[in-house]
Structure 1
Amino acid sequence: MMQHEGDNDRMNIAIDGPAGAGKSTVARKVAEQLGYVYIDTGAMYRAVTLCAQRAGVSAEQPDKLDQLARSLQIEIEPGEHGQSVFINGEEVTSLIRSREVTLQVSHFAANETVREVLGTMQRQLAARKGVVMDGRDIGSHVLPDAELKIFLTASVKERAMRRFREIADSQIITLEQLETEIAERDRLDEQRDISPLVCASDAVVLDSTGMTIDEVIQAIVKLSRTKMAEAK
């Protein structure tokens, strides 16, 4: 493939943060505005979780999980409404957003082999630059050389409220229940041994409590343009 003029002007952007901080929405829109590729690492962990649940493999079975993770071909393709996720050719975009997967994904994401397999996939995707990637350990572990690192956070209350608005009426869950679940996911993500949720030392912390999604997107786009100008 020919190098286009301006390919050297692209960089990688890592957006980390706790559950419900709006990372994927923000990352997708930032990528759109900059003409970059968005890679949703959370969707990749959810894909592994879904396959493990289908196969009856638990997070406490490392050998089976190792085999399963290595057998999966996960593809993420840009679609009209965000991204489409495929596992071995089957589209699972909506299936990986189920409540069963949401409640279990932190346990599977704590598995060393799963992180190693997916981390390698993620680095390969980012090798050509011009990527916006979001997750829990992108700036600290997956892409430690990313030119711009953002740690996007918000209060537990605010994050629960955002999730609450997203959930369809058919799912019976209270705001209090969501707050408890989000706080528990924070605890699991921060305390796991393998690549815990951590703010990279060179990350810009962006507390989005009280900010609109658009304000967050504009703040990150502005930071990326400043970074680009500095690099020249």
Structure 2
Amino acid sequence: MRRNLPIIAIDGPSGAGKSTLGRMIARALGLLYIDTGAMYRAIALAVLRSRAKFTDTAAIAELARRARIELSGDPSSLRVMLDGEDVSDEIHSEQVSHVASLISAIPEVRREMVKQQRELGARGGVLVGRDIGTVVFPDADVKFFLTATPEERAQRRYEEDRARAQDLTFDDVLREINIRDERDSTRADSPLRIADDAVVIDTTELSIDEVFERMMKVIREKRAAGESQSAP
């Protein structure tokens, strides 16, 4: 399928700023925003509701195949629909986050999610996740890998959780960040890694606006280079 709009891939570990910056870039460029982490959270919610055992990977994979996940709305107010129900708020609970981390390591679930993500982004958009530039869209027009120290990422996530009135300590969040990093980096299927042609940005000492400007500069330069190559 020929597309007229670019695909921008933003990968990185939890708390690196992917979602916030993905929304900002999608809004600035008028592109579809696809939060792949929200898709895994929706499947995690379906698993919790079904009471399937976490060891029953076949049942979980079947739930992923049957689930209808839709993303809609402005990037800054993305709504996540699971089988026609708006679950945008419910998928951000600590329990759902934990289960999402577990099921995202199941190869059958990842393959189903990759299939759906490719369908959603086939005509262009900004996709954020952990394997967008390496697996989902290895031919993305622009690839970024955002990172930061575990402590900085944990502080950001801790502040987000406090805003949602979740009762977690900083040490709890840091521990979960480190566990998630290990799980994401060592899983056999679609591990978290930096694409060879990705632009890496360490966001530890940078403000959101500073990172946004760096990313937009890269996008503008890539677009200009592409236009010059296609010119007769």
TM-score band, normalised by the shorter chain? Answer: over 0.9
Q: Does 2:149 match 1:155?
A: yes
Cα offset, 1:81, TM superposition: 4.3
- Matched with 1:86 is 81
- Of the structure 1 ranges 69-78 and 162-171, higher mean CA displacement relative to structure 2 is found in 162-171
Aligned to 2:132, which of 130, 134, 138?
Answer: 138
Which residue identity does 2:32 align to in structure 1? V
- Matched with 2:177 is 182
Unaligned runs of 5+ residues in structure 2 are 228-232
Cα deviation, 1:174-207, whole Å, max 9, x if unaligned, reads 1122111101110010011110111111111110
Asked if structure 1 preserves the Cα contact closer than 8 Å seen for 2:12 and 2:18, the reply is yes
> In 2 relative to 1, CA 35–154 (structure 1 residues): closer, same or farther, beyond 3 Å?
same
Q: Does 2:14 match 1:16?
A: no
Cα offset, 1:79, TM superposition: 4.1
* Identical residues among aligned pairs (%): 43
Cα offset, 1:167, TM superposition: 1.7
Asked if structure 2 preserves the Cα contact closer than 8 Å seen for 1:13 and 1:132, the reply is yes
Query: Secondary structure of 1:70's partner?
Result: helix
> In 2 relative to 1, CA 45–35 (structure 1 residues): closer, same or farther, beyond 3 Å?
same
Q: Which ranges of 4 or more aligned residues in structure 1 deviate by more than 6 Å?
A: none
Asked if structure 2 preserves the Cα contact closer than 8 Å seen for 1:34 and 1:221, the reply is no
With the length of structure 1 as denominator, give the TM-score of the two structures: 0.93
Name the count of aligned residue pairs. 225
RMSD, matched Cα: 1.5
- Matched with 2:230 is none
Aligned equivalents of 2:30, 2:162: Cα separation in 1: 31
Q: Does 2:160 match 1:166?
A: yes
Aligned equivalents of 2:40, 2:161: Cα separation in 1: 20
Aligned equivalents of 1:107, 1:166: Cα separation in 2: 21
With the length of structure 2 as denominator, give the TM-score of the two structures: 0.93
Asked if structure 1 preserves the Cα contact closer than 8 Å seen for 2:154 and 2:177, the reply is yes
Aligned equivalents of 2:90, 2:41: Cα separation in 1: 9
